[in-house]
Amino acid sequence: MKLLLPLLAISSLASAQLSGKVGPTTSHATKTARKVCNITSYGAKPGKTGDIGPAMTEAFNACKNGGTIVIPSGDWGLRTWVNMQNGKGFAIQWDGVIHRTGDAGGNMLLVQKSDDVEIFSSTGKGAFQGNGYEFHRKGSITGPRILRFVRTTNFAVHDVLLIDAPSFHFSMDTCKNGEVYNMVIKGAYQGGLDGIDVWSDNIHIHDVMVSNKDECVTVKSPAHNILVENIYCNWSGGSAFGSLGEGVDIANVIYRNVYTIQSNQMMMIKSRGGSGSVSNVLFENFIGHSNAYSLDIDQNWSPMKSHPGPGVGLRNITFKNWKGTCANGVQRPPIKIICSDDKPCVGIHIVDFAMWTDSGSSVQYQCKSAYGSGGCLKSGSGGAYATTSKTISSPPAGYNAVRMPGDLKTSTGTKEPIAIPQMPSSFFPGKSPLKALAAGGAGGRLVELFNDVDEGFIES
């Protein structure tokens, strides 16, 4: 009967992905056929030190009710930020490289209260160079964010690169029916420079690579029907839920095919006190190499302040098919599930978990006030219990896992410019992007190479 518990949990999540269609309701071709608003027609001048902000604003106003705003190939400066509000049926064809030249806070590109929106590069080379190192070398992370969507519906962002944000790179705030894919985010190796943060409904995020020292792809509250797959956390902080406080409302989330290397964790759920719930979640097919933590639930996470309440209720959460290594499995256990004594976790299931250690000859699992199956979890349900440890003294079968050819050898710095990379042609071993890369990405041979290998796995 114990073996049936995780299978039933996974089965119940089979339909708990998206709640409906995602993406724009009309194609960018349809928008382009209606009207084209090239920023050069509104006074934009090429060059890294100019300011296309006013021209972009004028182009948006001309095309906001149906049309395509074009940012041509080449270099463009941005000194004044662009607020795109109350638009319906517009696209931005972003083929050039935008270079931040202004110093104001806020959001450099803000889309809010809009519907049927698409931002894309037709070449896969459209990029934003945030030049965040100019802030970071002074010890500041209070500069502007690159891209933020607020209360926007039926949208897509794809085939663009967001580089070196002074602050966060991309946030989706109370949006609905969105798709984000074929994207590279490369930020400084410093906290407070999140890759993708989402607190929205019915969002599909796939085929994304993030390099930074903070969040890779992270769900915050409230969020429902989120599907995240084919994610490459390439020397990053790692993915997470949180930080979670009062009135948390997260349900029906799937992370699938997540590759994480040299990161703080593969997946973390973090809170301290608080209230509300996280339910019906599946973390499936995770590969990790040399990460500090692997599976990390911490409901007494010391970096955040304590919130009023008994704790966030965690229930019906499954971790399935994890493999790879952590850096030191005794110092930082590959399974760490520390739940609230006042609100114990229930229905936590760990299936096919094969994580070993780069350093040492054993790993430890730690559980506290947590119930379910697998690892060091107690079966059934019940009250609080003190931290228990379980030592694993031999490598689990099947822990060796593929490595991606694009793995970074060192982290990005904080004091020097970050070069704009190429778009990779694969974001998870053996998986082609779910949607074709614009202009073929960095080349098709990488995916072909993986597909030549049995099941796409090369043992390290």
Binned at pLDDT 50, 70 and 90, residue 48 comes out as very high
ω into residue 166 within 30 of 0, thus cis? Answer: no
Q: Which residues contact 183 (CB under 8 A, 6 or more apart)?
A: 157, 158, 159, 160, 161, 162, 170, 207, 208, 209
- CATH class of the domain comprising 236-407: mainly beta
Lowest mean pLDDT among 19-28, 380-389, 431-440, 447-456: 447-456
Asked if residue 243 lies in contact with residue 219, where contact means CB atoms within 8 angstroms, the answer is: no
Residue pLDDT, tens place only, 356-365: 999 999 999 9
- What is residue 12's predicted lDDT score, i.e. its pLDDT? 43
- Catalytic annotation present for 289: yes
Taking all residues of the chain, what is their mean pLDDT, rounded to a whole number? 92
| Residue 454 reports pLDDT greater than 60 | no
Overall pTM > 0.75: yes
pLDDT at 413: 85
Write down the catalytic residue from 224, 289, 307, 349: 289
- Measured CA to CA, the distance from residue 131 to residue 387 in angstroms comes to 45
86, exposed or middle or buried, with CB in 10 Å at 0-12, 13-18, 19+?
exposed
| Every domain of the chain and the residues it spans | 1-223, 236-407
Let me know: does 236 contact 263? Beta carbons within 8 Å. yes
Q: For tokens 């003190």, what's the residue?
A: 386
186 Cβ contact list (under 8 Å, min separation 6): 161, 162, 163, 164, 210, 211, 212, 412, 418, 420, 421
Task: Name the catalytic one among 51, 95, 164, 214.
Answer: 214
- 153 sits in the region (left: phi over 0; alpha: psi -120 to 50; else beta) called beta
Question: What pLDDT was estimated at residue 444?
Answer: 35
Residue 439's pLDDT is what?
78
Same CATH topology for 1-223 and 236-407? yes
pLDDT greater than 60 at residue 449: no
| 234-264 pLDDT tens trace | 999 999 999 999 999 999 999 999 999 999 9
Nearest to 324 by CA among 201, 411, 425, 407: 407
| Domain topology for 1-223 | Pectate Lyase C-like (2.160.20)
Please compute the mean of the pLDDT values over residues 335-357 and round it to a whole number.
98
**In the 3-class helix/strand/coil scheme, how is 38-72 assigned residue by residue?**
EHHHHCCCCECCCCCHHHHHHHHHHHCCCEEEEEC
The residue count of the chain comes to: 460
**DSSP tag of 454:** G
Residue 448: pLDDT band with limits 50, 70, 90: very low
Q: What is the pLDDT of residue 144?
A: 97
Q: What is the pLDDT of residue 423?
A: 96
Q: Which comes out higher in pLDDT, residue 132 or 443?
A: 132
Mean pLDDT of all residues in 41-63:
97
State yes or no: pLDDT of 296 exceeds 50: yes
Distance CA 158, CA 204 (A): 12
Q: In the structure, what pLDDT confidence band is assigned to residue 74 with cuts at 50, 70 and 90?
A: very high
pLDDT value for 372: 98
Q: What is the rounded CA–CA span in Å between residue 203 and residue 179?
A: 6
Rounded to whole angstroms, the Cα distance separating 225 from 18 reads 5
Taking only the tens place, the pLDDT of each residue in 84-143 is 999 999 999 999 999 999 999 999 999 999 999 999 999 999 999 999 999 999 999 999
- Known active-site residue 214: yes
pLDDT at site 15: 40
pLDDT at 441: 53
Residue 9 pLDDT more than 70?
no
Side chain identity, residue 86: N
Rounded average pLDDT over 311-320: 98
Between 417 and 5, where is the model more confident?
A: 417
Distances (CA, A) of 140 to 82, 188, 190, 414, 419: 23, 12, 10, 10, 20
pLDDT above 60 for 287: yes
Query: Residues near 96 by Cβ (< 8 Å), separated by ≥ 6?
Result: 71, 72, 73, 74, 75, 76, 126
Q: In the prediction, which pLDDT does 457 show?
A: 29
What integer pLDDT is reported at residue 455 of this predicted model? Answer: 30
Higher pLDDT, 267 or 1: 267
Whether 38 shows a pLDDT value over 50: the answer reads yes
